Amino acid sequence: MLNNLVSNAIKYSRSGGEVRIRVEEAGGEANISVVDSGVGIAPEDVDHIFAPFRRATRPASTIPGVGLGLSVARRIAEAHGGRIDVTSRPGLGSTFVVVLPLSPRRASELALH
């Protein structure tokens, strides 16, 4: 899941662009953010980028791929009781946030630190 998100962040960023990964715990959940400074996703494309074999229309012809990475990533997140959220601005980049529930034991361990 993370490999797909990081790979996409690199693929859709300009040469020398920045990709950041952040992990936080909040309310018994792990939040893993993959932030890029890439081409971004047009608002009309956001609704379908997680569908198998669907890609954003704008850079699809110049960036390799078949449109399975985000679909697979979402299925993995959902199989673990989580989700993936995305915010994006064309020309400025995208942020994908994976939200996964922590086990009750792990959440209490983190609260002690």
For residue range 39-94, list pLDDT tens digits in order: 899 888 888 888 877 666 555 556 666 578 899 999 999 999 999 999 999 989 99
Query: In Å, how far are 27, 36, 69 from 7, measured between CA atoms?
Result: 28, 11, 9
Q: 2-111 belongs to which CATH class?
A: alpha beta
Q: What is the mean pLDDT of the chain?
A: 85
- Of the candidate ranges 1-5, 32-36, 61-65, the one whose mean pLDDT is the lowest: 61-65
Predicted TM-score of the model (pTM): 0.81
DSSP type of residue 101: E
Residue 113 CA to residue 104 CA, distance in Å, equals: 15
Q: Where are the domains of the chain?
A: 2-111
Q: Is the pLDDT of residue 14 over 60?
A: yes
Which contiguous run of DSSP H or E holds residue 11? helix 2-11
Mention every residue, 6+ apart, whose C-beta is less than 8 A from residue 78. Answer: none
Cβ pair 31, 23 in contact under 8 A? yes
Instruction: Specify the higher pLDDT residue, 26 or 54.
Output: 26
Please name the amino acid found at residue 39. Answer: V
Instruction: Specify the higher pLDDT residue, 111 or 84.
Output: 84
**pLDDT value, residue 50:** 86
Helices marked H in 47-99 — which ranges? 69-79
Phi-psi region of 57 (alpha: psi -120 to 50; beta: other; left: phi over 0): alpha
**pLDDT value, residue 77:** 94
The arithmetic mean of pLDDT across residues 10-35, rounded, is 92
Q: Is the pLDDT of residue 32 over 90?
A: yes
